[in-house]
Amino acid sequence: MLSIRQIVIAASAALALATPAKAQEFINILTGGTSGVYYPLGVALSKIYTEKIPGSRPSVQATKASVENLNLLQQRKGEIAFTLGDSLADAWNGVEDAGFKTKLDRLRAISAIYPNYIQIVASKESGIKTLADLKGKRLSVGAPKSGTELNARAILKGAGLTYADLGKVEYLPFAESVELMKNRQLDATLQSSGLGVASLRDLASAVEIVVVGIPEETVKKVGTPYVAATIPANTYTGQTEAVPTAAVVNYFVTHDGVKDDLAYAMTKAVFDNLDTLGAAHSAAKSIKLENALQGLPVPLHPGAAKYFKEKGLTPPQ
């Protein structure tokens, strides 16, 4: 005859078999430098996922942004990442000059999010007012082979310039570029980001700046995926007039190893909490459900597709 203790142990074992513990979902969010837009949005996304996806364990990884993020996803070292659209297209096509040795065929889209604005900011004392004035000047173009640096190459080419035309080229992240400009070791910085990026706000509060325009005809020469855009007046201290520029769409991306239900939950949590993301950074206020499937350069993840179908959108075939 079984003792009471034996009965309790047996019952506990049976209950454990009947209701297995739910495995924790690790969600590594690949972002960018801490002074950019990706990182604070990644932090906000981590908080959203913690609250809205039961059993999830989100983490936020600061990276060199688009190119590094996409290569990490191909290695399945992250679950969701921020990236620029042109970098994403180059990754899918395996463009080696853009930082992709082979086609990154595991990439899957979650959604289009907000546009990055190509923002060229010079110190007023440099005398730079136009793209042509960059000749012979010291310019930071972002980290090597980053999405920003790829943008820099494209925009300069559209303006009939190359790195050889510049006085000096620095390959630095946003915050480091700003510090050099404050110390008069750089004349200008090109930063591809959402409007109101912290690094440029910091720069404008420290020195007098000029936001250099990118004319629409230059944007047309560059072509897809770049579009003409405007940096509104007073985006930065001392910038009293609207400035024409170029923009390229950002995306949330995952990989084919992420389970459908997790991809669905990550997508739903984003669009159910756009107000929280918008509070984390004003760039996220441009994220719209109706634009979520805009120009996807890679296949949509089935989990994300399920969410958009529920919302009445038709995923691309």
Given a cut of 80, whether residue 60 has pLDDT beyond it is yes
Over residues 128-152, the mean pLDDT reads: 94
Given a cut of 90, whether residue 17 has pLDDT beyond it is no
250 forms beta bridges with: 84
Which domains does the chain show, CATH number per domain?
A: 24-114+250-310 (3.40.190.10), 116-248 (3.40.190.10)
Q: What is the model's pLDDT at position 227?
A: 87
Q: Under a CB-based contact definition with an 8 Å cutoff, are residues 192 and 142 in contact?
A: yes
Q: What is the model's pLDDT at position 1?
A: 52
What value does the mean pLDDT of the chain take? 92
Selected residue with higher pLDDT from 4 and 257 = 257
One-letter identity of residue 21? A
Length of the chain: 317
Given a cut of 60, whether residue 234 has pLDDT beyond it is yes
Over residues 241-266, the mean pLDDT reads: 97
pLDDT class for 146, splitting at 50, 70, 90?
A: confident
- Tally the C-alpha atoms within 13 A of residue 33's C-alpha that lie toward its C-beta: 20
